[in-house]
């Protein structure tokens, strides 16, 4: 079955830049989406179509794509950005798949 691979954890200091990667064989041909989930809350969409940012999401959040890897970049990280981040993409036969999630820790 199709899988998306993310690092389990990323740690950065406030004001630094966090980069979270997501790898999958189909990503060169499928858009990726990123969700932020804080403890006890439902996920919210922060990036769609690889690089686009929904209204209301800070400009500090950006997405990029290169071959089988997509990257969520959070610039000038704040304590409030500490959360779990999930990538998502379409799988085969009209299915969807999520990555295993990355816990972002703000030191």
Partner 1 sequence: QVTLKESGPVLVNPTETLTLTCTVSGFSLSNAKMGVSWIRQPPGKALEWLAYIFSNDEKSYSTSLRSRLTISKDTSKSQVVLTMTDMDPVDTGTYYCARIEEYYDSSGYYYWFDPWGQGTLVTVSS
User: Among residue numbers 41 through 70, which ones bind partner 1 (CB under 8 A)?
Assistant: 42-45, 48-49, 54
Minimum distance, C-beta of residue 86 to partner 1, in the bound complex (Å): 5
Place of tokens 């999958």: 24
> Which one of 26, 60, 64, 97 is in contact with partner 1 (CB under 8 A)?
97
Q: Where in 65-94 is the site for partner 1 (CB under 8 A)? A: 86, 88, 90-94
For partner 1, the binding residue among 15, 17, 25, 96 (CB under 8 A) is 96
Listed in sequence order, the residues at least 6 apart from 100 whose beta carbon sits closer than 8 Å to its beta carbon are 4, 5, 6, 8
DSSP SS3 for 84:
strand
CB-based burial label for 39 (10 Å; 0-12, 13-18, 19+): exposed
Stretch of 15-23, 33-41, 58-66, 67-75 contacting partner 1, by CB under 8 A: 33-41
């Amino acid at each position: 079955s199709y899988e998306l691979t993310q690092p389990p954890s990323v740690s950065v200091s406030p004001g630094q830049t966090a980069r979270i990667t997501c790898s999958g064989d189909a990503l060169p041909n499928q858009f990726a989406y990123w969700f932020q989930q804080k403890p006890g809350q439902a996920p919210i969409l922060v990036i769609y179509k690889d690089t686009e940012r929904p209204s209301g999401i800070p400009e500090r959040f950006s997405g990029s794509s290169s071959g089988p890897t997509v990257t969520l970049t959070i610039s000038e990280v704040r304590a409030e950005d500490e959360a779990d981040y999930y990538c998502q993409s379409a799988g085969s036969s009209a299915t969807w798949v999520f990555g295993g999630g990355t816990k972002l820790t703000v030191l």
